[in-house]
Structure 1
Amino acid sequence: MRELVAVARFGGRIYWRDRVAVSTSVALSLGLGIGLPVLFSKLGEDVPVLATHLGLLGMLVTLTALNQAAVSLSARRDQLILKRMRATGLRDRDILGGELVNITLQSTLVAVAISVVLYATGTVPPPAQPVVFLVFVVAGAGVLALLGAAFTAAISRAEIASVMAMPFFLLAGVGGGGFGPMLKLLPEWVQSAFGLLPSTALVRALTIAHEGGAWSGYLMPALNLAIWAVIGLAAIKLWFRWESRKS
């Protein structure tokens, strides 16, 4: 556990010193996550501000967790940082686990910051079940970061990682409602397919937490995230690469 925490702290220091990560992941997320709901709240009562906020959270957690994990771990791999860390005697699970804990924490902090600002300004009401809301934000960020790590197996070079991961951000926006009610314009089978995404399950769980729904309503989102977590772990075990192909 001590080694995992040390790797997470190391990753956090690198994260906040990375101007690209801070500008694209943090600044962009805060700007979109706060700016759009505030703007929509000025347009009238007919605009679904809360639904937009929750849909944006699904998008932005995907950006700050899955996309960031794919970009960061691809860069660490190609720079041989992961290989050197293994050479120190650290266990694989501590290295990868520490990186993912750091990314999950950063993603959660961004989502919480967005939400707190919107609650404080009265743009959206706070959730009826705030603890459950936070639990699912952490769980969703963790699962998406895990999937981002698994996706690095398909990324040949770190330079193209952000481009290759971007479709997941866009899919999360459509499936969760971050781009508005676009999903309703699509055929039912497409809507059902989008419903299987982990980001969509996250938005559903956050919606239930906001409304104070029955506990049974969390079953399907939790099951969805658990299945994706198993898929991510299996993919990492089978295909994750600790060093670049060139090396």
Structure 2
Amino acid sequence: MSTMTALSRAEFTLLGRNRVLLFNALVMPLVLPIVLLVVAGRDGGLTDAGVSAALEIFALFLLVFLVYYNLLSVYATRRDELVLKRLRTGESTDAQILLGPAVPSFLLTLLLGVIVGVVVVVLGGGTPVNVVLIAAALVGGAALFAALALITSAFTRNAEAAQITSLPVILLAMLGSSLLRDVVPESLADVVALTPMAAVSDLLNLGWFGTTSVGDATGVADSVGFASTFAEAGQPALVMFAWIAGSVLIARTHFRWEPRS
């Protein structure tokens, strides 16, 4: 734990010194969702569909910019500067070296999640049905996108190249929006439901509203209670776990600890 604490503290310090990453980590996930909530509240009160859209946008920006892109840049930069290679010669294990940079992102994910949740409640967006599922969506989503960052870093030469290599994952994340699933054919919607962000969105909606189809006219009527949400969360939780497990297995064999010669 002392090793993890030291690594995490160092990453917190470096994050605070990098204004671009700090802006992506703190400002990007908060501004647009809160603005949408405030505007919707002034135009006649928050609806469930409006709150759901704001929560999904928040989760998308949070996981893509705070977790995924931040960690991708960190792993690529640390490898390019031979920091990872030097750390492996010390007491730290491989898992500690890779988890150290992720701890700040995980803690900020929880902090920003609490802030947005409080804003929604204060603005009249109701209270969540199951807080456990909301926490699972954010923490599990953070672990998932951290694992995807490990994979992407294997073919990312430096922080500048991350702007290009991150695009496929960003597009994949955007594909999982429940708004998109409502307009595509049912056959495609079933495929989209297996994407990482779709699992996060379903868990978020289940945790807050008790249903995954908030955008539908009959979605709210089909909502379930606290206990039943755990059964409904089985499929998205399984999809999320499969992505995490698969990404970790791929990262174990393809992650690079030093620059290509």
Is residue 59–residue 199 contact of structure 1 (8 Å, CA) maintained in 2?
yes
Aligned counterpart, 1:60 = 61
Q: Report the TM-score, using the length of structure 2 for normalisation.
A: 0.83
Query: Does structure 2 conserve the Cα–Cα contact (< 8 Å) formed by 1:67 and 1:166?
Result: no
**Aligned AA for 1:106?**
L
Which has the larger displacement, 159-168 or 5-14?
159-168
Deviations along 1:188-241, whole A, 9 cap, x unmatched? 333222211122111101111112431201111211111111111111111001
Distance 1:81 1:117 in 2: 40
Q: Does the C-alpha gap of structure 1 residues 61 and 156 become closer, same or farther in structure 2, counting only changes over 3 Å?
A: same
Match for residue 135 of structure 1?
136
Which residue, out of 228, 249, 253, partners 1:238? Answer: 253
Q: Is the 8 A contact 2:25 2:62 kept in 1?
A: no
State the 1:170 CA deviation: 4.0
Deviations 1:93-147 (A, max 9, x none): 111122223322223322332222232233x222122233223311221222122
Taking a change above 3 Å as real, the CA distance of residues 33 and 162 of structure 1, as seen in their structure-2 partners, is farther
Other-structure match for 1:29: 29
Instruction: Kindly provide the amino acid, as one letter, of the partner of residue 154 in structure 1.
Output: F
SS in 2 for 1:20: helix
Q: Which aligned pairs between 1:131-210 and structure 2 lie closer than 5 A?
A: 131-177=132-178, 181-210=179-208
> Using a 3 Å threshold, how does the CA distance of structure 1 residues 30 and 10 change in structure 2: closer, same or farther?
same
**Could you tell me how far apart the structure 2 residues matched to 1:68 and 1:108 are?**
16
C-alpha contact 2:67 2:146 (8 A) present in aligned 1 = yes
Given that 2:85 and 2:257 are in contact with CA atoms closer than 8 Å, whether structure 1 keeps it comes out as yes
Which aligned runs of 4 or more in structure 1 are off by greater than 6 angstroms?
Answer: none
**Distance in 2 between residues matched to 1:211 and 1:155, nearest whole Å:** 39
Aligned to 1:96: 98
Asked if the contact 1:172/1:197 (under 8 Å) is kept, the reply is yes
Give the drift of 1:167: 4.2
Q: Could you tell me whether the CA contact under 8 Å between 1:58 and 1:200 is conserved in 2?
A: no
CA distance in 2, matches of 1:197, 1:43: 33
Code of the aligned partner of 1:155? T
In 2, are the aligned partners of 1:152 and 1:240 still within 8 Å (CA)? Answer: yes
Structure 1: gaps (5+ residues) = none
Identity %: 26
Q: Secondary structure at the match of 2:72?
A: helix
Alpha-carbon distance in 1 for matches of 2:132, 2:180: 30
Q: Indicate the structure (1 or 2) with the bigger Cα radius of gyration.
A: 2
2-side partners of 1:176 and 1:98: how far apart?
Answer: 30
> Partner of 2:4 in structure 1?
4
8 Å CA contact 1:104, 1:145 repeated in 2:
no
Cα distance change of structure 1 residues 206 and 50 upon mapping to structure 2, 3 Å threshold: same
TM-score of the two chains, using structure 1 as the length reference: 0.87
Distance 2:31 2:138 in 1: 19
Deviates more, 1:64-73 or 1:161-170: 161-170
CA contact (8 A) 2:79 2:259 kept: yes
| Alignment match, 2:214 | none
RMSD of Structure 2 on Structure 1 (CA) = 2.2
Larger CA deviation: 160-169 vs 62-71: 160-169
Taking CA–CA contacts closer than 8 Å with sequence separation of 6 or more, which of the two structures ends up with the larger relative contact order? 1
Identify the residue that residue 220 of structure 1 maps to in structure 2.
235
What are structure 2's unaligned runs of at least 5 residues? 211-223
Q: Check conservation: 1:58, 1:176, Cα contact below 8 A.
A: no
